[in-house]
Chain A
Amino acid sequence: MIRRLLALALITTASAFAQQISLTGAGSTFAYPLYSSWSSHYHAVDPKVEVNYQSIGSGGGIRQLIEGTVEFGATDGPMTNEQLAEAQQKRGTAILHFPTALGAAMPSYNVLGVTATLKFTPAALAGIYLGKITKWNDPEIQGPNPGVRLPNANIVVIHRSDGSGTTYTWADYLSKVSPEWKSKVGVGTSVNWPVGLGGKGNEGVAGLIRRIPNSIGYIELIYAVQNHILYGDVKNSSGNFIKADLNSVTAAAAGATKTMPADFRVSITDAPGADAYPISTYTWLLIPEKLNDMTKAKALKAFLRWGLTTGQQYCGPLTYAPLPAAVVQKELLQMNKLQY
C-alpha cells in the first residue's frame, strides 16, 4: 500500500515538473521590482511558466548570460562590443537588447536655508562633480535661481560607492555635456571620482545628503519619488528646466526614438525634445538569438512579448517610466530576429 502510494506520488510530482517551464534570468537590481512584478502577474497569464529573476547586478547578469547559466540577462548599461563578441564565441549566438522600462537620475541636495527646488544647468553639474565649482553661490548655480539666497558655503559632493546603473547614467550625461568629464573621467558603473564622498546604494547617498549640510548627490527616480526626497530641475538640450517625472522621462525616450540604432543600444541622456528630462536611461533585457531548449525559448519569447505590451501597465505603479509606443513597435519587429 505504502509502496503504491509512493509510486503514485512520484508519478504526480514528475508530471507536475514536466509541465512546469522555468525561465531563469539575472542582472540589474534597478529593474528587479519590475521583473518580479511581471513574473507574478505573468503566472496568472500562463501558469506553466515560472520566471526566476535574480537581482545580482548588471555586471553579474552579463557574465552569467555569457557563461550560459541563465536564459536571459538584464542590464542598466548596454553590453559592449567585446562582451557581445565573447557571447558569440562562447555560446554561438548573438545577444539582442530589448528596452523594457525607463529610469532617471536626479540631483538631490541639502543646502542650509534653502527649501526651494533648485535649477541646475549642465555646466553647473559638470563643474560641481569635476571639483571646479566649489561654492553654492557660484554664478553658474546662482544664475538660474534668482529668487533663492544661496550661501557662500563649500559644496560637499556625494556619489554612489557601489557600482550601479545610476552612476552609469550620471557619468554618461556628464560626458555628453562636458568634454572635460569625458576625457578626464569617462563613463562606467564605477568611475574614478575627482571629488566627493561615496554612499552605498540610493539609501546611502540620500542618508549622507540628509546628514551633511550643503551637500549634493544624485539619486534614482524611483527612490526619490517613493521617499519624497527634494530634487532639482535640470536644463535640457532645448534650454528648458525640466523636473524629472514619469512623463518627462518617457518624453526623453520618445525624443531619442528617431535616432534609435537597430540594436537598441542607445543612451538617451541629453535627448532632444522640449519636455525631455536629460538624465534618463533605458533598462534592457538581454535575450539570446538562439536557444537550444525550444520549449523554454518559446516561453521566453511569449513572456517578452507580454512584458513589452501588457506588462507596461505595471511600470507606472512601481514608478518606472513606461516605454513610448513607437519604441514598443520597433521592439516587436525586432523580435522576429529571434530564431524560435
Chain B
Amino acid sequence: MAKAALVIPEIPFQSRGLDRKQTWWERLRKGDEVVHLITLAGGWSILVITALLVQHLWVYSRLSRHAFGWHFLVDSTWDPVNGVFGAWPFVYGTVVTSLLALAISIPIGLGSAIFLAELAPRKLSNALTFLIELLAAVPSVIYGLIGIFLLIPVLFTVVPYFQKYFGWIPVFNGTFYGVSYFSASIVLSIMVVPFIISISREVLIAVPVSQREAMMALGATKWDVTWRAVVPYARQGIMGSIFLSLARALGETMAVTMVIGNVAQVSTSLMAPGYTIAAVIANEFTEATGDLYLHALIELGLVLFAVTMIFNALARLLMLTMKGHEVVG
C-alpha cells in the first residue's frame, strides 16, 4: 500500500527550444544553480552544526572523561565539593520520565488526532486544531507553573488514596512529596501531546481518498476504514510525531526541574523525587567553579546527546522491522 504512494509521476522537462547544453553561467542566471547552492549550503550547515556541537562537547568534557571513564555512566554519586561525578541518576530520570510521558501522551494524542481528522465536523476540527497548535507554542515555564499550582495539589489529594490500594506495588510505594518522576512525566505528557495531535492529524488528513474508498468498497465500517486503512497508511508520519515528542521530552529543562524534586538518586518508585540531565545542567552550570566540575556538566550534555541518538536509532530500527512485516503480510 505504502509503496504505491511513493511513485512520483515524471513531469517531462520542457526544453524551450534550447537543444545545446546550458553553461554554468546560464544556469546560474536562470536560478537553478543559485537554488542548488543555497539548499546545499542549508543541508551542509546542519551537518556542520552537529559536528561542531559534538566536537565541542567532546573537547570540553575531556577532564571528566579522563578522570571517570565509563564509570561516569554508572556511578550514582554527584559531589561537586569533592569532585566525584556520576551521571546514572540523571540518565535514569531522563529516560524514565520521557518514556512514561510518551506512554501517557500517545493514546491521548493519537485518539484526538483520529477524532479530529476522521470523525469531527471539519469546522470543529479546525477550531480545535488552532487551539492545540496554540498549546504547542506555550513556553515550558508556564507548564512548570501549571505543574506546581494545579497538578501537584491535585496529586497530593489523589495519590495517598491510590497508594492505599496499590502502594504494595514497588513502582507506587514510598512517601509522596508532590514532586516526583510521576509529576514530571504528567507535565511532560501535557507538553508533548499537542505535537502528536497536530502532526498526526495532518498526516491522517493527507491520506488519499482512494485508500478510504478502496476499504469502503470492501464493505468496511467507518472505524474499520480508519483503523485498517487510514492509520496504517499514515503510520510513518505518526511515528515521526512521536519521535519529535520524545526528543522534546528528553531535552525539556525548565518544566521538569520545577516538578521533579531535583534529587540525584535512583528510585524504582515513580512517586519518588529524581533528577534529569537537562535539569541538572541548567541548575548547576552558572555557579560551577573548577574545571573538572564544568567538564563533568558538559559531559552530561554529551551523554544527553548520546541518549537522544540511541533513542532515534532504536526508533529507526523499529520502523524498519514494521516495514518488513508489511511486506511479508
**Nearest-Cβ distance from residue B222 to partner chain A, whole angstroms:** 47
Inter-chain contact A156/B177, CB cutoff 8 Å: yes
Inter-chain contact A197/B262, CB cutoff 8 Å: yes
Inter-chain contact A199/B178, CB cutoff 8 Å: no
What CA separation (Å) do A56 and B282 show in the bound complex?
12
Inter-chain contact A59/B287, CB cutoff 8 Å: yes
CB-defined contacts of B285 to chain A, threshold 8 Å: 163
What CA separation (Å) do A153 and B279 show in the bound complex?
30
Q: B257: which of A57, A80, A196, A200 is its contact (CB, 8 Å)?
A: A200
CB-defined contacts of A196 to chain B, threshold 8 Å: 263
Inter-chain contact B289/A62, CB cutoff 8 Å: yes
Main secondary structure of the interface of A (DSSP, over half): loop
Chain B interface residue count, Cβ-Cβ cutoff 8 angstroms: 33
CB contacts under 8 Å to A, within B54-82, are: 77-82
What CA separation (Å) do A57 and B283 show in the bound complex?
11
Main secondary structure of the interface of B (DSSP, over half): loop
Binds B, one of A180-188, A283-291, A309-317: A180-188
**Interface of B toward A, CB cutoff 8 Å:** 77-82, 84, 148, 152-153, 156, 175, 177-179, 257-258, 261-264, 273, 275, 279, 282-290
Q: A186: which of B81, B152, B275 is its contact (CB, 8 Å)?
A: B81
| Sample (23) of A-B pairs whose CB atoms are under 8 Å apart | A29-B286, A56-B286, A59-B286, A59-B289, A60-B287, A80-B289, A82-B290, A161-B262, A162-B286, A162-B287, A163-B80, A185-B81, A186-B81, A186-B82, A188-B81, A190-B283, A190-B287, A192-B84, A197-B261, A197-B262, A198-B263, A200-B283, A208-B179
Determine whether A211 belongs to the interface, using a CB cutoff of 8 Å to chain B.
yes
**Nearest-Cβ distance from residue B89 to partner chain A, whole angstroms:** 11
Determine whether A212 belongs to the interface, using a CB cutoff of 8 Å to chain B.
yes
Inter-chain contact B257/A163, CB cutoff 8 Å: no
**Interface of A toward B, CB cutoff 8 Å:** 29, 56-60, 62-63, 77, 80, 82-83, 154, 156, 161-165, 185-193, 196-200, 204, 207-208, 211-212
Q: Which 8 A-B pairs have the closest CB atoms?
A: A163-B287, A198-B262, A57-B286, A161-B262, A192-B79, A186-B81, A189-B287, A162-B283
- Taking A154-B175, A163-B287, A197-B273 as given, write out 4 further A-B residue pairs in contact, using a Cβ cutoff of 8 Å, ordered by the A residue number: A62-B289, A63-B289, A77-B289, A80-B290
